[in-house]
Amino acid sequence: MPQFFLNKRLIILLVSIIILVALIGFSLRDREQLTWPERFIKDSTGWVQSLVSKPTHFVAGFFENVEDLRITYNENKELKKRLDKLASLEAQVHLLDKENTELRDILDKKETLRDYDPIQATVIGRNPDHWHEMVIINKGKVDGIKENMPVITAKGLIGKVKNISQFTSTIQLLSTMDPKYRISSIIQADKEVFGLVEGYDDQKELLLIKTIPYNAEIKKGQNVVTSGLGGVFPEGLVIGKVVDVVPDQYGLNLTAYVKPGANFYDIENVMVINRTMVQPDVSEMVDDEEEEL
């Protein structure tokens, strides 16, 4: 192929490789927000996407309903079994809830890390190349969404807001490989164990909580929830259940495998969580530290 190596083409190729590397570097660095052309394009395509996604979800929903009808009988039996337990549980929860508010009143402690306002949103798109696990929702800056807010479905946490534009935002799912993606969590053992959800095992489809102290008593089936100590996340959002605990590479710590409560596929309606308690100002914390030093 001598033609291919003609000077002009070679130069174009080299220049575009340089531009490619520069652009990737530009988009990978820690950006506070997207540039305005990106936000504009996202908003415009988001508008078209939400137009298209409504009718398609309606049609898909119809087929899902037909599928549901098929399994109704078994499901009904199972649900009836659980319903018996529910009545007593409900009474118990009511009692505890009341007691909790009373005790809080006595202590004069009104705000907790647990309080939040949910913002309802609908998924209008998903990244078709499966490398970056991201979905696009139809709420953005004007609806009060900010970066890093947690996003949940009825079954549990699915991810956090990565980027926002005026009317849409992108959510990075928990199943992402990004090493910078961490969520402060609690394993609800007899004695609560703190840990960071970091990483996702692609083959097993399980989340990883690394660097748990070696003597922590964790068993299978224990719940994992958010701790609320990360700054933006409220306390008590369900992440999943522990399915396995193994010593790590060097045998100094434990790694827990967590089966996520939410399904990362087939997501339609989500809630973006706006924590009502004040968020700590990061810049303030950094300044304090520096003064101490």
Partner 1 sequence: MSRFLPFVLFFLLFILESLFVELFPVKMFNKDWVFAPHFLIASILLLTIYGSKKHGVWYGLLFGLLFDIVYTEVIGIYLFMFPLTAYVISKMMKILQSNIIIATFVVLLGISILEIVAYEMNFLIHITTTPFPIFINTRLLPTLILNFVFLVLVVYPLKKQFEKMNEQLG
Structure token digits, residue 196: 């960071």
Listed ranges 48-56, 83-91, 92-100, 214-222: which one lies at the site for partner 1 (CB under 8 A): 48-56
For residue 132, state whether it binds partner 1 (rule: CB under 8 A).
yes
For residue 38, state whether it binds partner 1 (rule: CB under 8 A).
yes
Instruction: List the x/- string, 63-102, binding to partner 1 by CB under 8 A.
Output: ----------------------------------------
Task: Kindly tell me the burial class for residue 157, based on how many C-beta atoms sit within 10 Å of its own C-beta (0-12, 13-18, 19 or more).
Answer: buried
For residue 58, state whether it binds partner 1 (rule: CB under 8 A).
no
Residue 85 main-chain phi, psi, to 5 deg: -70, -30
Among 128, 249, 250, 286, binds partner 1 (CB under 8 A): 128
Distances (CA, A) of 164 to 39, 103, 112: 8, 39, 27
Residue 136 main-chain phi, psi, to 5 deg: -110, 135
Task: Kindly tell me the burial class for residue 174, based on how many C-beta atoms sit within 10 Å of its own C-beta (0-12, 13-18, 19 or more).
Answer: buried
Listed ranges 11-19, 100-108, 181-189, 239-247: which one lies at the site for partner 1 (CB under 8 A): 11-19
Residue 235 per-residue DSSP state = T
For residue 8, state whether it binds partner 1 (rule: CB under 8 A).
no
Q: How many residues bind partner 1 (CB under 8 A)?
A: 49
Listed ranges 153-161, 176-184, 206-214, 279-287: which one lies at the site for partner 1 (CB under 8 A): 176-184
Listed ranges 32-40, 104-112, 185-193, 252-260: which one lies at the site for partner 1 (CB under 8 A): 32-40
Residues near 66 by beta carbon (within 8 Å), at least 6 away in sequence: none
